[in-house]
Structures are given as structure tokens and as C-alpha cells.
Amino acid sequence: MTDVMAEMKERKREFKTTVDGIVVERVYSPDDVSENEIAAGLPGKYPFTRNIMPAGYRTRLWTMRQYAGFATVEETNKRYKYLYKQGQTGFSVAFHLPTQMGYDSDHPLALPEVGRVGVAIDSLKDMEDLWSGIPLGEVSTSMTINATAPIILAMYIAAAEKQGVAQGQLMGTVQNDLLKEYVARNTYIFAPEPSMRLTTDICGYCAQNMPKWNSISISGYHMREAGATAIQEAAFSLCNGIAYVQAMIARGMDVDSFAPQFSFFFAAFSNLFEEVAKFRALRRMWAKIMKERFNAQNERSMMLKFHVQTGGCTLAEQQPLNNVVRVTIQALAAILGSCQSLHTNSYDEALALPSEEAVQLALRTQQILAFESGVADTVDPMGGSYYVEWLTNKIEEGVQKYIATIDKMGGAQEAIKKGYIQREIRRSAYNHQKAVDAGEQVVVGVNQYTSEEQPALELFEIDEGVAKKQLERLSKLKSRRDSDEVQQVLDRVRQVASSGENIMPVLIEAVKAYATVGEISDALRDVFGEYKEPSVL
Amino acid sequence: MVRKKTRVLIAKPGLDGHDRGAIAVAQGLRDAGMEVIYLGLRLTPEQIVEAAIQEDVDVIGLSCLSGGHLTLFSKTMDSFKERSDKEIIFIGGGIIPKKDITALKAAGITGTFGPGTPINEITSFIKAELEKGSDDKED
């Protein structure tokens, strides 16, 4: 029998999960997995390989959270209300680049970018109007904001207060993960040290004042998008997570006082089993790190909770409808991997910002998976599969190797300073590109099964009048506020920034005086300076 | 006769931080034997033009995925033409809708390349365009 099997000719010499990936065998059997491993894993029990909650989606489905924001707050507020009506259960704010980089919309560098990749927020007034008619005490909001996260969180707190909602009631997340910005996403303003101080200021403030708020979302997503493999994504995120925990402990915080508010953000690409195994390995590894390395006592400190977004760079410009299928497989991977919340990409995003119709289809994809497919009816349905259990172990091994290497270098911050993580990711990105160019990695519609004809899509366009409209909002605001008060509060921002005090309280004061994102960022620049990336090529 | 190596400047104007494509293209062109200067991200059109003139490049490759390409690419091309008479090739990459390609071509861009473009397509494009330009001078 085995001889016959061995003689069976296969269609490839070797099957692999990813470009520099794991070699997959023909078939898996009980020999590939130890028995106690399968028996040990109950959902809701340490090390949480199968799920952090005992009943998974049977208690509550994942939060369907579509990342959205464009133009001015008026347009985005309309889109949010539309999504809410369509059944979306949480918000995810995309800010335009000037807000992310600490420039007001009237800054020369800002002008070409106003309202493009996200909504323009210059001041508390914009934040108040963004949430007009949406009760902040009842919704949960994720904000993709990093360098200016303290300012934007301060605005959210102040806007909620105006609605009569106390900060302690607020539910949501700020991304607040600067380490990965130096590696992949590139929206840093300050050098790594002051950035780490601001990041931990937020974590400390949330630990004391905002128990329902996730103070950080440690993001592998952007590193994956920049080219990292699944193993690299998992490893570098965990290393960044370790660095943040260490920084908080160095500030004198007890690990269980802040760690339950840490959350993560990962990508789901199209290799279904690899992604599911990655999520399972990540849960197990974070639990072990928190318990064994940091001696956490509270189980909530050990629970890896995470948001998933489907892979933006897997979307092809060619034959864009194929992307609907890719997104479905990737979303399925996230759900089988037991994510807490999910964003599904729109099929037209390699061509433009998504149209309303495409966004709706992306959300419907999640709803069909939730209510028609039955995949959410039992916890971790892949658990016990010889292949998936084996692959989970395999990924854990690969991740562990990277963690050991980075530990030896002195941790994530040092590894980033040395350019190690950046180089590893760039190597993977280039290898992937070469594999696609050579046709070794098939991308349907791109390097195989191509067609000349392209369907005409109705693409979304930003109204060219957006910048003008936002500049009017900004100048109106500036003429109405008390500018002496603004100057005084900006001085206090500088003072607190140069002291070791937590920055959050003075920022809340500053935004309430309607100091703008640009003005407050400039005050911080006065103290911290700006960081220029070292040359990478 | 050994012809001078083609010199290419790759840069990201504006605030967009998505540099995977720009870096991959820079590496790919270098592997194809061109001399590539990767200037990095968050640059103004003026900074890019300054570097292009100092480095005496034959090609400027601009990348932008934030939607600011119309303004940023056009400004860079205008600013270069104001300061130099050298006939060079401008190429652009990013999320660029078809409609905008027409506008960019009118503003002087030679070619645009979206996500998923094989790098050798860009290499051949540059070679072909440079040969077109040099036909009447050399050979």
C-alpha cells in the first residue's frame, strides 16, 4: 500500500504554505500530533489555543467593523450612519494622513492629501461633528491612529463628554503602536524613545481611567502588507508586544493592571489553513509569554484578543471581481481562527477608495459567513485536525526562532534600530514579487488566466472641493476660539512633555480649548524633535 | 561600446507611507542593471526635483497610494521642467484610476503601473522609452 502511495505522481515537486514557507506533506495522521496536545486544548482555558472564551461565537459573534472615513466629517458621519443601519456593530475610523502626521489641513504638506485616505480631523469641533447623532456610550470605536493617538484619544474623550458620556464608559481601541510604524506603516513623527513614552502614557491613562478601552492594538497587519510572511507577522508582533509590556513594567506598573487592555491586529491572507494555524499559535504563544515571562496572574492578561483585516495587498487590479472570492476565503480564515472583530476589504480597493456598493458587499460577505455558513456554530471547528494542529506547532516553532533572535539583539526596539526587522520583511516582499513574476506563485487573473477585457466599474471619487470645505471649517474654528487660552494651554503641553508626567490630562485640556492637531503636534515637536528615517536602500 | 548605465530616481511625494511597491521596484530595477537612487518617503516635489537634477537621472519614478497622485505627480513634473531641459522619463505607481491616467499623461507622465505589475514590465518599458529617445542621437 505505501509503495503504491509513493509511486503516485504529484502535480508539484513540493507543496509549500508561503514563499519561504513550510513544506506540506501529502497527508497527516495522529503520528504528527501528540495526543495530549489535542486533549489539552479546551476553549477558554490556558493557553487558549482554541479560543479565549469557552463558548466562542455561540455567546457573541465577532464585531463586524469596517474601516471607513473620507472627505470631511459630514460625509463620513453619513457613511457611518449608513453602515450602522446596515447592521455594522462597531466603528473603525480612518483618518486622513495630515491628522495621522500631526499637520492641520492648511499645512502645505497636507493640502494634496486632505480627506483622501480618511476623514479630516483638525480639532475637537470636527470630532464632535463626526459623531453627531451616534451615541458614544453605546457603540465601540476603533481608531487607526498612532503618532497623534494621544491627541485624537483626548478629542474622543472630550467629544463623548459633550454627549454626556463619561470616559469610563467608552468602548473601543486606539492603535497606538509606534514600533511597527518604523518598520512598515511609516506614520511616525518622533524618535522611538519619545514615541514609546507617549504610547505608554496612553496605556497608563487607560488602565486608570478607561477600563473598557483597549489602550493599544499591536499590529502585525501592516508588516504583513509590507511583505512579511505569516510567521514573521506573528513573530514581530509578539516581539513588539513584549517591548510594550517591558516598557510599562519599567514605568512601575503591575503587569495585570494594564495587560488586559492590550489588543492585537493581524492580517488574513488566502492560504486558509496557514492563517488559521497562525491565529491559534499566536493565542497560545501570547498566553505563555504573559504567564511565563511576565508572571501575569490574571488570566485576562494572558488572553490574546485581536482584530483581523483581510489582506489589502492580495487584491488585484486585474479582474477585480475575483477579489470578492479572495476576501471570502480570508474572512473565513479569520473566523475559523476565532478573531474578535473583522474588517473585510472591498473588491475595488486596488483601483480606488471603495464605492458604497463594494463596501456593502464586503459587509454582506461577513453576514453570509455568520448566518448562512454555520462556521460560527461551534468553537474552533479546526481543532483536532491533524494537519492544522501540526501546522499550528510548526508556526509556533518558526515564531519562537525569531523571538529568540530578537531577544538576543536586545528586543524589538533594538532590532528595529539595527534595521533587522525591516530587512527581513523586505527580503520576503522581494522574494514574493520574484515568485509571482516568475509564475511560481500563481495569482489568478494576474500571472495566469489573464484576460484583456476589464469590466467597467463605478469607482468612488473624492469631491475635489473637499480641501476647500475643510479649510473653511478650520478658519472658522480659529476665528471663534479664544486664542490666548490656546497659547497658554499649548505652553502647558510643552511643560508636561518635557516633564515625565502623563501627557493625557493636559491634552484633554488642550483639545477642549480647540487647539488643533497641528498646533498640539508642533508643541510636542518643540520638545521631542522630529525623526528622520535612516536610508534603507 | 558600453553605454552609460541608466540612472533612476525612485521617490514617494506626499505623506503616504506605503513603500512596499516603491522599494520592490527600486530593487528590481537595480537587479536589472540600472543605477537606482531610492530617495525615500514624505518628500516634497521640490526635494525630489533637486535630487533628480543633482543625480542627473534619466528616469524619475514616483509612487503614491493615498490618492494625492494628480497634484503631487504633476507638481513634480512641472517643477522639473522649470529647472531642467533634460528630456527624462516620468513613471508613476500606486492606486491610480484610469481616468486620472489620461490627466497624468497630459501632464507629461510616460507610463503608470498599478498593483500587480511584474517588475520586468517596468524594466522593458524604461528600456524601450530610452531607446526611442536616443534613436535620433545615437546608433
- What is the reported pLDDT for A39? 59
CB B20, CB B27: distance < 8 Å: no
Residue of A nearest to B25 (CA): A430
Q: Is some CB atom of chain B closer than 8 A to the CB atom of A42?
A: no
Q: Give dist(CA A488, CA A165) in Å, integer.
A: 27
CB A119, CB A96: distance < 8 Å: yes
Whole-Å CA distances, A232 to A120, A270, A303, A536: 33, 16, 21, 19
- What is the reported pLDDT for A463? 78
A141-159: average pLDDT: 98
- 3-state SS, B61-98, equals EEEECCCCHHHHHHHHHHHHHHHCCCCCEEEEEECCCH
State the CATH number of the domain containing residue A503: 3.20.20.240
- What is the reported pLDDT for A86? 78
Region for residue A134 given its phi and psi (left: phi exceeds 0; alpha: psi -120 to 50; beta: otherwise) = beta
Q: Which of A101, A109, A186, A461 to mutate: most B Cβ within 10 Å?
A: A186
Work out the pLDDT band at A459, boundaries 50, 70, 90: confident
Closest-CA distance, A423 to chain B, in angstroms, reads 11
Residue A353, pLDDT > 90, answer no
- What is the reported pLDDT for B90? 98
pLDDT > 70 fraction of chain B, expressed in percent and rounded: 94
Q: Give dist(CA A494, CA B85) in Å, integer.
A: 48
Q: Is some CB atom of chain A closer than 8 A to the CB atom of B14?
A: yes
Contacts of A526 (CB under 8 A, 6+ apart): A494
pLDDT tens for A23-54 read: 999 999 988 887 666 656 799 999 999 999 99
Asked if the bond preceding A47 is cis, omega within 30° of 0, the reply is: yes
Q: Give dist(CA A491, CA A496) in Å, integer.
A: 9
Residue with cell 496557514: A274
Q: What is the ipTM of this complex?
A: 0.87
Closest by CA position to A235, among listed A249, A252, A247, A218: A218
Closest-CA distance, A80 to chain B, in angstroms, reads 21
CB A379, CB A55: distance < 8 Å: yes
Pairs of CB atoms within 8 A across A/B = 102
Q: Is some CB atom of chain B closer than 8 A to the CB atom of A316?
A: yes
On whether the pTM is more than 0.90, the answer is yes
B53-80: average pLDDT: 96
Domain assignment of residue A424, yes or no: no
Domain assignment of residue A486, yes or no: yes
Domain assignment of residue A373, yes or no: no
**Contact A97/B16, CB-based, under 8 Å?**
yes
Q: Is some CB atom of chain B closer than 8 A to the CB atom of A227?
A: yes
Q: Which domain holds residue A142?
A: 69-174+454-537
Domain assignment of residue A167, yes or no: yes
- What is the reported pLDDT for A8? 80
Q: 3-state SS of chain B: helix, strand, coil percent to 5? A: 45, 20, 30
Which of A109-118, A237-246, B26-35, B126-135 has the lowest average pLDDT? B126-135
Give the helix/strand (H/E) hosting A267. strand A262-268
Helix (H, G, I), strand (E, B) or coil at A462: coil
Give the helix/strand (H/E) hosting A197. helix A192-209
Show which of residues 412-471 on chain A sit within 8 Å of chain B, judged by CB atoms. Answer: 426, 429-430, 433, 436-437, 443, 446-447, 459, 461-462
Residues of A in contact with B44 (CB under 8 A): 108-109
Residue A1, pLDDT > 50, answer no
Taken in order A241, A242, A243, A244, is the CA torsion positive or negative?
Answer: positive
Residue of B nearest to A437 (CA): B118
- What is the reported pLDDT for A6? 64
β-bridge mates for residue B36, sequence order = B8
Domain assignment of residue A406, yes or no: no
**Contact A113/B67, CB-based, under 8 Å?**
yes
Q: Which of A19, A97, A426 to mutate: most B Cβ within 10 Å?
A: A97
Closest-CA distance, B101 to chain A, in angstroms, reads 12
| pLDDT, mean over chain A | 94
Work out the pLDDT band at A352, boundaries 50, 70, 90: confident
Residues of B in contact with A358 (CB under 8 A): none
Closest-CA distance, A421 to chain B, in angstroms, reads 14
Work out the pLDDT band at A90, boundaries 50, 70, 90: confident
Work out the pLDDT band at B135, boundaries 50, 70, 90: low
Q: Is some CB atom of chain B closer than 8 A to the CB atom of A98?
A: yes
* Residue A94: alpha-carbon gap to chain centroid: 11
Residue of A nearest to B122 (CA): A437
- What is the reported pLDDT for A536? 61
Choose the CATH number for B7-134 among 3.40.50.970, 3.40.50.280, 1.10.357.20, 1.20.120.530.
3.40.50.280
Grid cell, residue A423, equals 530587512
Q: Which of A433, A461, A468, A536 to mutate: most B Cβ within 10 Å?
A: A433
**Contact A533/B40, CB-based, under 8 Å?**
yes
Domains identified in chain A, total number: 1
Closest by CA position to B8, among listed B70, B57, B74: B57
Residues of B in contact with A109 (CB under 8 A): 14-15, 42, 44
To the nearest 10 degrees (0 to 180), the angle between helices A192-209 and A149-162 is 30
Residue of B nearest to A423 (CA): B23
Work out the pLDDT band at A168, boundaries 50, 70, 90: very high
Q: Which of A95, A114, A117, A436 to mutate: most B Cβ within 10 Å?
A: A117
- What is the reported pLDDT for A481? 96
What is the residue extent of each domain of chain B?
Answer: 7-134
Q: Give dist(CA B74, CA B52) in Å, integer.
A: 15
Q: Give dist(CA A307, CA A315) in Å, integer.
A: 19
Residue B139, pLDDT > 60, answer no
Q: Is some CB atom of chain A closer than 8 A to the CB atom of B74?
A: no
Q: Give dist(CA A41, CA A38) in Å, integer.
A: 6
